[in-house]
Amino acid sequence: MTIGDFFLSISPLAGQAEGGKPFQCSYCSKEFSHLSSLESHLEHVHSGESKHVCDTCGKNFSSKSNLTAHKKIHSGKSSTL
């Protein structure tokens, strides 16, 4: 699937009559009233999904703050080792 196919699937006119939020994220189905909002959402929520990886257990996080919070479980007590 190319980026062109992705934008073709957005159908700007389809939802306009109903809720006024014609742009829907194809990843999480969240709706947006402006394309720029959807693009911003994709940029922040989905394009960074693999950028924040825990180097201890390999788990992925959508944001750096989530990863930082997660890492505390590794840097805490290590009595099991």
CB closer to Zn ion, 10 vs 25: 25
Tell me if 67 contacts Zn ion by CB under 5 A. Answer: no
Which of 25, 48, 66, 67 touches Zn ion by CB under 5 A?
25
Alpha helices by DSSP H, 1-81: 3-8, 35-41, 64-75
Tell me if 28 contacts Zn ion by CB under 5 A. Answer: yes
The total number of residues written for the chain in this structure: 81
Alpha helices by DSSP H, 15-81: 35-41, 64-75
Footprint on this chain of Zn ion (rule: CB under 5 A): 25, 27-28, 30, 54, 56-57
